Amino acid sequence: MGPVRILILTNGPLARNPRVVKEASVLGAAGHAVTVLGLRNHRPSVALDAAIVDDAPFRHEQVEFLDGRVAWLRRAFARLARELAGRGGPATIYSLGPAQPFLRAARARARAADLTIVHNEIPHWIGARLIREGRRVGADIEDWHSEDLPPHERTGRPLALLRRVERTLLHGAIHLTTTSEALAEGLFAAYGGRRPAVITNSFPLPATPRPSGASPAAEPTFFWFSQTTGPGRGLELFLAAWARTRLPSRVVLLGEVEETYATRLRAALPPSFRSRLTFRPLVSPRALPEVIAGHDIGLALEQSYIVNRDLTITNKILQYLGAGLAVVASDTAGQREVLKHDPAAGLVLPLHETTAAAAALEGLVADPAGLRARQLAARRLAEARYCWEREGPRLVALVEAALG
Protein backbone atom coordinates (compact mmCIF):
# COMPACT_ATOMS: atom_id res chain seq x y z
CA MET A 1 0.00 0.00 0.00
CA GLY A 2 1.06 3.61 -0.44
CA PRO A 3 2.24 5.88 2.37
CA VAL A 4 -0.36 6.91 4.93
CA ARG A 5 -0.47 9.70 7.48
CA ILE A 6 -0.13 8.30 10.99
CA LEU A 7 -0.48 10.30 14.20
CA ILE A 8 0.91 8.72 17.39
CA LEU A 9 -0.12 10.11 20.79
CA THR A 10 1.88 9.50 23.96
CA ASN A 11 2.11 10.84 27.51
CA GLY A 12 5.42 12.54 28.03
CA PRO A 13 8.75 12.74 26.22
CA LEU A 14 10.25 10.26 23.78
CA ALA A 15 13.17 9.44 26.08
CA ARG A 16 10.72 7.90 28.56
CA ASN A 17 8.64 6.12 25.91
CA PRO A 18 10.93 3.73 24.01
CA ARG A 19 8.01 1.71 22.64
CA VAL A 20 6.66 4.82 20.92
CA VAL A 21 10.06 5.61 19.43
CA LYS A 22 10.38 2.09 18.01
CA GLU A 23 6.86 2.18 16.58
CA ALA A 24 7.26 5.62 15.00
CA SER A 25 10.69 4.73 13.62
CA VAL A 26 9.67 1.47 11.98
CA LEU A 27 6.50 2.98 10.47
CA GLY A 28 8.43 6.01 9.24
CA ALA A 29 11.15 3.81 7.77
CA ALA A 30 8.42 1.86 5.94
CA GLY A 31 7.56 5.06 4.05
CA HIS A 32 4.63 6.38 6.06
CA ALA A 33 4.29 10.01 7.17
CA VAL A 34 4.46 9.74 10.96
CA THR A 35 3.97 12.48 13.54
CA VAL A 36 4.39 11.85 17.28
CA LEU A 37 2.51 14.21 19.59
CA GLY A 38 3.60 14.06 23.24
CA LEU A 39 3.89 16.14 26.38
CA ARG A 40 6.85 18.35 27.21
CA ASN A 41 6.72 17.58 30.91
CA HIS A 42 10.15 16.28 31.98
CA ARG A 43 13.05 18.72 31.79
CA PRO A 44 15.89 16.15 31.90
CA SER A 45 14.43 14.56 28.76
CA VAL A 46 14.43 17.72 26.62
CA ALA A 47 17.99 17.27 25.34
CA LEU A 48 17.55 13.50 25.06
CA ASP A 49 14.46 13.98 22.91
CA ALA A 50 16.33 16.37 20.63
CA ALA A 51 19.01 13.72 20.08
CA ILE A 52 16.38 11.06 19.32
CA VAL A 53 14.56 13.22 16.78
CA ASP A 54 17.74 14.47 15.12
CA ASP A 55 17.91 11.57 12.66
CA ALA A 56 14.48 9.99 13.18
CA PRO A 57 12.12 9.18 10.26
CA PHE A 58 9.21 10.95 11.97
CA ARG A 59 8.14 14.40 13.18
CA HIS A 60 7.88 15.20 16.88
CA GLU A 61 5.53 17.79 18.38
CA GLN A 62 4.70 18.49 22.03
CA VAL A 63 2.04 20.03 24.23
CA GLU A 64 3.82 22.43 26.59
CA PHE A 65 3.67 21.44 30.27
CA LEU A 66 6.97 22.90 31.53
CA ASP A 67 7.54 26.55 30.69
CA GLY A 68 5.41 29.68 30.52
CA ARG A 69 2.27 30.89 32.24
CA VAL A 70 -0.03 28.56 30.32
CA ALA A 71 2.04 25.53 31.33
CA TRP A 72 2.01 26.71 34.97
CA LEU A 73 -1.79 26.96 34.89
CA ARG A 74 -2.03 23.47 33.36
CA ARG A 75 0.18 22.02 36.09
CA ALA A 76 -1.78 23.81 38.82
CA PHE A 77 -5.09 22.50 37.43
CA ALA A 78 -3.76 18.92 37.30
CA ARG A 79 -2.38 19.24 40.86
CA LEU A 80 -5.74 20.52 42.13
CA ALA A 81 -7.58 17.67 40.40
CA ARG A 82 -5.23 15.13 42.04
CA GLU A 83 -5.66 16.70 45.47
CA LEU A 84 -9.45 16.71 45.20
CA ALA A 85 -9.51 13.09 44.08
CA GLY A 86 -7.14 12.12 46.89
CA ARG A 87 -9.52 13.68 49.42
CA GLY A 88 -12.46 11.66 48.18
CA GLY A 89 -13.63 14.00 45.44
CA PRO A 90 -14.40 12.90 41.90
CA ALA A 91 -11.51 11.12 40.14
CA THR A 92 -11.22 12.54 36.64
CA ILE A 93 -8.86 12.27 33.70
CA TYR A 94 -7.57 15.75 34.57
CA SER A 95 -5.75 14.40 37.64
CA LEU A 96 -3.40 12.57 35.23
CA GLY A 97 -2.25 15.67 33.35
CA PRO A 98 -3.32 18.31 30.78
CA ALA A 99 -6.06 16.19 29.19
CA GLN A 100 -8.06 19.01 27.63
CA PRO A 101 -5.11 20.83 25.94
CA PHE A 102 -3.82 17.47 24.72
CA LEU A 103 -7.28 16.60 23.33
CA ARG A 104 -7.47 19.92 21.45
CA ALA A 105 -4.01 19.44 19.93
CA ALA A 106 -4.76 15.82 19.01
CA ARG A 107 -8.11 16.62 17.41
CA ALA A 108 -6.54 19.28 15.23
CA ARG A 109 -3.95 16.82 13.92
CA ALA A 110 -6.23 13.77 13.74
CA ARG A 111 -8.35 15.49 11.07
CA ALA A 112 -5.44 15.15 8.64
CA ALA A 113 -4.40 11.64 9.73
CA ASP A 114 -5.43 8.33 8.20
CA LEU A 115 -4.85 6.61 11.55
CA THR A 116 -4.25 7.81 15.10
CA ILE A 117 -2.43 5.37 17.40
CA VAL A 118 -2.76 6.05 21.13
CA HIS A 119 -0.41 5.07 23.99
CA ASN A 120 -0.82 5.61 27.77
CA GLU A 121 -3.71 6.91 29.86
CA ILE A 122 -4.57 10.35 28.51
CA PRO A 123 -4.01 9.35 24.86
CA HIS A 124 -6.21 6.27 25.44
CA TRP A 125 -8.94 8.61 26.72
CA ILE A 126 -8.45 10.79 23.64
CA GLY A 127 -8.58 7.70 21.43
CA ALA A 128 -11.94 6.73 22.90
CA ARG A 129 -13.24 10.24 22.15
CA LEU A 130 -11.93 10.09 18.58
CA ILE A 131 -13.60 6.70 18.03
CA ARG A 132 -16.95 8.17 19.06
CA GLU A 133 -16.31 11.02 16.61
CA GLY A 134 -15.80 8.56 13.74
CA ARG A 135 -12.00 8.67 13.48
CA ARG A 136 -9.89 5.60 12.73
CA VAL A 137 -7.95 4.77 15.88
CA GLY A 138 -5.35 2.16 16.79
CA ALA A 139 -4.36 1.53 20.40
CA ASP A 140 -1.26 0.13 22.00
CA ILE A 141 -2.00 -1.15 25.51
CA GLU A 142 1.52 -1.47 26.84
CA ASP A 143 0.13 -1.40 30.38
CA TRP A 144 -3.29 -2.27 31.75
CA HIS A 145 -3.72 1.12 33.41
CA SER A 146 -6.87 0.36 35.40
CA GLU A 147 -5.08 -2.67 36.94
CA ASP A 148 -1.67 -1.10 37.54
CA LEU A 149 0.28 0.26 40.52
CA PRO A 150 0.34 -0.78 44.21
CA PRO A 151 -2.88 -0.09 46.16
CA HIS A 152 -1.55 3.04 47.90
CA GLU A 153 -0.73 4.62 44.52
CA ARG A 154 -4.19 3.92 43.05
CA THR A 155 -5.96 6.35 45.38
CA GLY A 156 -7.43 9.21 43.38
CA ARG A 157 -6.92 7.52 40.00
CA PRO A 158 -10.00 7.55 37.70
CA LEU A 159 -10.24 3.75 37.61
CA ALA A 160 -13.86 3.54 36.45
CA LEU A 161 -13.14 5.97 33.61
CA LEU A 162 -10.00 4.06 32.60
CA ARG A 163 -12.02 0.83 32.42
CA ARG A 164 -14.64 2.46 30.20
CA VAL A 165 -11.88 3.76 27.95
CA GLU A 166 -10.25 0.34 27.74
CA ARG A 167 -13.56 -1.28 26.81
CA THR A 168 -14.15 1.34 24.11
CA LEU A 169 -10.70 0.72 22.64
CA LEU A 170 -11.12 -3.06 22.55
CA HIS A 171 -14.46 -2.71 20.79
CA GLY A 172 -13.79 0.31 18.59
CA ALA A 173 -10.12 0.46 17.60
CA ILE A 174 -9.21 -0.94 14.19
CA HIS A 175 -5.72 -1.90 15.37
CA LEU A 176 -4.77 -3.19 18.84
CA THR A 177 -1.45 -4.30 20.25
CA THR A 178 -0.14 -5.26 23.66
CA THR A 179 3.01 -6.72 25.18
CA SER A 180 2.33 -10.38 26.01
CA GLU A 181 -0.02 -13.25 25.34
CA ALA A 182 -0.98 -13.22 29.02
CA LEU A 183 -1.98 -9.54 28.88
CA ALA A 184 -3.79 -9.96 25.55
CA GLU A 185 -5.84 -12.78 27.03
CA GLY A 186 -6.54 -10.83 30.23
CA LEU A 187 -7.81 -7.77 28.36
CA PHE A 188 -9.94 -9.87 26.02
CA ALA A 189 -11.44 -11.85 28.91
CA ALA A 190 -12.31 -8.63 30.75
CA TYR A 191 -13.78 -6.64 27.86
CA GLY A 192 -14.38 -8.84 24.82
CA GLY A 193 -14.20 -7.03 21.51
CA ARG A 194 -10.94 -7.47 19.58
CA ARG A 195 -8.13 -9.54 21.12
CA PRO A 196 -4.95 -7.43 20.90
CA ALA A 197 -2.08 -8.70 18.78
CA VAL A 198 1.17 -9.19 20.68
CA ILE A 199 4.16 -6.99 19.89
CA THR A 200 6.64 -7.49 22.70
CA ASN A 201 8.79 -4.77 24.22
CA SER A 202 11.79 -6.13 22.33
CA PHE A 203 14.66 -3.88 21.28
CA PRO A 204 17.11 -3.99 18.37
CA LEU A 205 19.84 -6.53 19.08
CA PRO A 206 22.86 -4.75 20.57
CA ALA A 207 25.86 -5.01 18.27
CA THR A 208 28.11 -5.64 21.26
CA PRO A 209 26.56 -7.97 23.82
CA ARG A 210 28.79 -9.63 26.38
CA PRO A 211 31.75 -11.10 24.41
CA SER A 212 31.02 -14.73 23.53
CA GLY A 213 34.16 -15.97 25.24
CA ALA A 214 33.93 -13.78 28.33
CA SER A 215 33.48 -15.39 31.71
CA PRO A 216 31.50 -13.78 34.53
CA ALA A 217 33.50 -11.51 36.80
CA ALA A 218 35.09 -12.86 40.00
CA GLU A 219 32.35 -10.93 41.79
CA PRO A 220 29.35 -11.25 39.43
CA THR A 221 27.18 -8.16 39.26
CA PHE A 222 23.40 -8.15 39.51
CA PHE A 223 21.94 -5.24 37.51
CA TRP A 224 18.52 -3.55 37.71
CA PHE A 225 17.24 -0.41 36.00
CA SER A 226 14.15 1.74 35.82
CA GLN A 227 13.33 5.39 35.33
CA THR A 228 12.66 5.60 39.08
CA THR A 229 14.33 3.58 41.83
CA GLY A 230 11.81 3.29 44.64
CA PRO A 231 9.52 1.09 46.73
CA GLY A 232 7.05 -1.40 45.28
CA ARG A 233 9.49 -2.73 42.68
CA GLY A 234 10.73 -5.85 44.44
CA LEU A 235 14.10 -4.37 45.43
CA GLU A 236 13.63 -4.78 49.17
CA LEU A 237 12.71 -8.46 48.77
CA PHE A 238 15.66 -9.14 46.47
CA LEU A 239 18.17 -7.39 48.73
CA ALA A 240 16.90 -9.31 51.75
CA ALA A 241 17.71 -12.55 49.93
CA TRP A 242 21.01 -11.26 48.51
CA ALA A 243 22.13 -10.30 52.02
CA ARG A 244 22.01 -13.98 52.99
CA THR A 245 24.40 -15.11 50.25
CA ARG A 246 27.96 -16.02 51.22
CA LEU A 247 29.89 -15.79 47.96
CA PRO A 248 30.99 -12.31 46.80
CA SER A 249 28.79 -10.47 44.31
CA ARG A 250 27.69 -6.90 43.65
CA VAL A 251 24.39 -5.10 42.93
CA VAL A 252 23.97 -2.05 40.67
CA LEU A 253 20.68 -0.11 40.59
CA LEU A 254 20.25 2.47 37.81
CA GLY A 255 17.54 5.14 37.90
CA GLU A 256 16.40 8.34 39.58
CA VAL A 257 16.48 7.73 43.34
CA GLU A 258 15.76 9.82 46.42
CA GLU A 259 18.65 9.77 48.87
CA THR A 260 16.34 8.84 51.74
CA TYR A 261 15.31 5.67 49.90
CA ALA A 262 18.90 4.79 48.98
CA THR A 263 19.88 5.26 52.62
CA ARG A 264 17.04 3.03 53.76
CA LEU A 265 18.08 0.23 51.39
CA ARG A 266 21.70 0.39 52.55
CA ALA A 267 20.69 0.46 56.21
CA ALA A 268 18.71 -2.75 55.79
CA LEU A 269 21.85 -4.60 54.60
CA PRO A 270 24.58 -6.09 56.80
CA PRO A 271 27.59 -3.71 56.97
CA SER A 272 29.75 -5.94 54.75
CA PHE A 273 27.20 -5.69 51.92
CA ARG A 274 26.66 -1.94 51.89
CA SER A 275 29.76 -1.07 49.88
CA ARG A 276 28.75 -3.65 47.26
CA LEU A 277 25.46 -1.88 46.50
CA THR A 278 25.87 0.91 43.91
CA PHE A 279 23.34 3.47 42.66
CA ARG A 280 23.81 4.86 39.16
CA PRO A 281 22.01 7.81 37.56
CA LEU A 282 19.88 7.49 34.45
CA VAL A 283 21.65 7.31 31.11
CA SER A 284 20.33 8.07 27.63
CA PRO A 285 18.33 5.34 25.85
CA ARG A 286 21.15 5.01 23.31
CA ALA A 287 23.77 4.44 26.02
CA LEU A 288 21.70 1.98 28.04
CA PRO A 289 22.40 -1.25 26.06
CA GLU A 290 26.16 -0.85 26.49
CA VAL A 291 25.73 -0.13 30.20
CA ILE A 292 23.58 -3.25 30.64
CA ALA A 293 26.12 -5.41 28.78
CA GLY A 294 28.78 -4.45 31.33
CA HIS A 295 27.09 -6.60 33.99
CA ASP A 296 26.43 -10.31 34.49
CA ILE A 297 22.88 -10.93 35.71
CA GLY A 298 19.76 -8.88 34.96
CA LEU A 299 17.07 -8.48 37.64
CA ALA A 300 13.42 -8.47 36.53
CA LEU A 301 11.58 -8.15 39.84
CA GLU A 302 7.99 -7.41 38.82
CA GLN A 303 5.34 -7.83 41.51
CA SER A 304 2.67 -10.45 40.75
CA TYR A 305 0.08 -8.95 43.13
CA ILE A 306 -0.26 -6.04 40.68
CA VAL A 307 -2.35 -7.45 37.82
CA ASN A 308 -0.65 -5.43 35.11
CA ARG A 309 2.83 -6.31 36.35
CA ASP A 310 1.89 -9.97 36.56
CA LEU A 311 0.66 -10.15 32.96
CA THR A 312 2.91 -7.82 30.99
CA ILE A 313 6.42 -8.41 29.68
CA THR A 314 8.44 -5.33 30.55
CA ASN A 315 11.44 -3.74 28.84
CA LYS A 316 13.87 -5.05 31.44
CA ILE A 317 13.81 -8.77 30.84
CA LEU A 318 14.01 -8.37 27.05
CA GLN A 319 16.89 -5.90 27.18
CA TYR A 320 18.79 -8.28 29.44
CA LEU A 321 18.31 -11.07 26.91
CA GLY A 322 19.58 -8.93 24.05
CA ALA A 323 22.62 -7.83 26.03
CA GLY A 324 23.48 -11.43 26.89
CA LEU A 325 22.81 -11.28 30.63
CA ALA A 326 21.48 -14.25 32.56
CA VAL A 327 18.03 -13.36 33.91
CA VAL A 328 16.76 -13.55 37.46
CA ALA A 329 12.99 -13.06 37.21
CA SER A 330 10.23 -12.92 39.76
CA ASP A 331 7.38 -15.37 39.29
CA THR A 332 4.90 -13.55 37.03
CA ALA A 333 2.82 -14.83 34.14
CA GLY A 334 4.58 -12.53 31.67
CA GLN A 335 8.08 -13.54 32.71
CA ARG A 336 7.21 -17.24 32.76
CA GLU A 337 5.95 -16.70 29.21
CA VAL A 338 9.41 -15.50 28.19
CA LEU A 339 11.50 -18.12 29.96
CA LYS A 340 9.34 -21.06 28.87
CA HIS A 341 10.86 -20.62 25.40
CA ASP A 342 14.30 -21.36 26.86
CA PRO A 343 14.48 -22.04 30.62
CA ALA A 344 18.29 -22.07 30.35
CA ALA A 345 18.28 -18.28 29.83
CA GLY A 346 17.52 -17.56 33.46
CA LEU A 347 15.78 -18.62 36.61
CA VAL A 348 12.49 -17.77 38.27
CA LEU A 349 13.22 -16.49 41.77
CA PRO A 350 10.84 -17.26 44.70
CA LEU A 351 11.05 -13.59 45.66
CA HIS A 352 8.77 -13.83 48.72
CA GLU A 353 10.63 -16.83 50.17
CA THR A 354 13.85 -15.28 51.40
CA THR A 355 15.72 -18.46 52.29
CA ALA A 356 14.89 -20.21 49.01
CA ALA A 357 15.67 -17.07 47.01
CA ALA A 358 19.05 -16.73 48.73
CA ALA A 359 19.89 -20.35 47.91
CA ALA A 360 18.98 -19.79 44.25
CA LEU A 361 21.19 -16.69 44.04
CA GLU A 362 24.04 -18.50 45.78
CA GLY A 363 23.79 -21.37 43.31
CA LEU A 364 23.93 -18.96 40.38
CA VAL A 365 27.04 -17.16 41.66
CA ALA A 366 28.76 -20.40 42.70
CA ASP A 367 28.71 -21.88 39.18
CA PRO A 368 30.60 -19.63 36.71
CA ALA A 369 30.27 -22.15 33.88
CA GLY A 370 26.55 -22.51 34.46
CA LEU A 371 26.14 -18.73 34.64
CA ARG A 372 28.00 -18.34 31.34
CA ALA A 373 25.77 -20.96 29.74
CA ARG A 374 22.71 -18.98 30.85
CA GLN A 375 24.16 -15.79 29.37
CA LEU A 376 24.69 -17.47 26.00
CA ALA A 377 21.18 -18.96 26.10
CA ALA A 378 19.76 -15.50 26.85
CA ARG A 379 21.34 -13.98 23.76
CA ARG A 380 20.17 -16.91 21.60
CA LEU A 381 16.61 -16.44 22.85
CA ALA A 382 16.75 -12.74 21.95
CA GLU A 383 18.01 -13.55 18.46
CA ALA A 384 15.42 -16.25 17.88
CA ARG A 385 12.33 -14.56 19.30
CA TYR A 386 12.68 -11.37 21.34
CA CYS A 387 14.28 -8.72 19.14
CA TRP A 388 12.95 -5.72 17.25
CA GLU A 389 14.39 -7.04 14.00
CA ARG A 390 11.56 -9.59 14.17
CA GLU A 391 8.85 -7.53 15.86
CA GLY A 392 9.20 -4.32 13.81
CA PRO A 393 8.14 -5.83 10.46
CA ARG A 394 5.23 -7.57 12.19
CA LEU A 395 4.03 -4.24 13.55
CA VAL A 396 4.19 -2.59 10.10
CA ALA A 397 2.20 -5.49 8.64
CA LEU A 398 -0.45 -5.21 11.36
CA VAL A 399 -0.91 -1.47 10.85
CA GLU A 400 -1.05 -1.78 7.08
CA ALA A 401 -3.53 -4.66 7.31
CA ALA A 402 -5.76 -2.58 9.59
CA LEU A 403 -5.71 0.30 7.12
CA GLY A 404 -6.06 -1.94 4.07
Residues 32, 172 within the same domain? yes
The pLDDT assigned to 74 comes to 84
Residues 81, 191 within the same domain? yes
Residues 125, 245 within the same domain? no
The pLDDT assigned to 252 comes to 98
The whole-number average pLDDT for the span 312-336 is: 96
The confidence band for 92, taking pLDDT boundaries of 50, 70 and 90, is confident
Flag whether 214 is in a domain.
Answer: no
The confidence band for 132, taking pLDDT boundaries of 50, 70 and 90, is very high
How many folded domains does the chain comprise? Answer: 2
The whole-number average pLDDT for the span 197-222 is: 79
Residues 112, 229 within the same domain? no
Q: What is the CATH number of the domain that holds 369?
A: 3.40.50.2000
Flag whether 352 is in a domain.
Answer: yes
Flag whether 216 is in a domain.
Answer: no
The whole-number average pLDDT for the span 302-306 is: 93
pLDDT per position as a tens digit, 43-56: 989 999 999 999 99
Residues 143, 172 within the same domain? yes
The whole-number average pLDDT for the span 239-247 is: 97
Residues 278, 342 within the same domain? yes
Residues 300, 176 within the same domain? no
Residues 171, 64 within the same domain? yes
Residues 65, 183 within the same domain? yes
The confidence band for 214, taking pLDDT boundaries of 50, 70 and 90, is low
Is the pLDDT reported for residue 109 higher than 90? yes
Flag whether 207 is in a domain.
Answer: no
CB 230 within 8 A of CB 258: yes
Domain that holds residue 311: 221-384
Flag whether 92 is in a domain.
Answer: yes
Is the pLDDT reported for residue 243 higher than 80? yes
The pLDDT assigned to 135 comes to 97
Residues 379, 247 within the same domain? yes
Flag whether 11 is in a domain.
Answer: yes
Residues 108, 236 within the same domain? no
The confidence band for 211, taking pLDDT boundaries of 50, 70 and 90, is low
CB 367 within 8 A of CB 190: no
Residues 183, 85 within the same domain? yes
Full-model pTM:
0.91
Flag whether 160 is in a domain.
Answer: yes
Residues 6+ away with beta carbon under 8 Å from 57: 24, 25, 28, 29, 34
- Which of 62-71, 183-192, 205-214, 345-354 is predicted with the least confidence, judged by mean pLDDT? 205-214
pLDDT per position as a tens digit, 265-287: 999 999 999 999 999 999 988 89
Strands 326-330 vs 33-40: parallel, antiparallel or unpaired: unpaired
Flag whether 156 is in a domain.
Answer: yes
